[in-house]
Copies of this chain bind each other. A is one copy, B any other.
């Protein structure tokens, strides 16, 4: 870890063939990963396969609509898998795909940064707003 600016630039040029801009790519993925609920869903699915209602219970504040939308988006991107069991009442289970699993490390790193610094950030905000 602790990559340099050059590392990022070279990774960018590798994947973009030395043309265009890395910005859109990073933002595209980031928009999926960093929206209001995705990261929370992914972190929760770290526990293993879970049902829709279990996810909803583990993620306070998420509406049914947003949980559904988030799960669909993550499924579309291949980060989670959706399994419908032909039973009554219906049972639908979600779990991380292998690719979804590879997102955990960077996602957790960012989450830990957030947890470690949010206090300092709030202090800075208060100081800034006090002017």
Contact = CB atoms under 8 A, between A and B. Distances in A.
Chain A's interface: helix, strand, loop or mixed, by majority? Answer: helix
Contact of A125 (B39, B43, B77): B77
Interface residues of A, number: 63
B47 A5 contact: yes
A36 B61 CA distance: 24
23 contacts: A2-B104, A3-B108, A3-B109, A5-B47, A8-B111, A15-B115, A23-B61, A29-B118, A32-B121, A33-B114, A34-B34, A76-B124, A77-B125, A78-B127, A78-B128, A99-B121, A99-B124, A102-B117, A105-B109, A106-B109, A106-B110, A106-B113, A107-B110
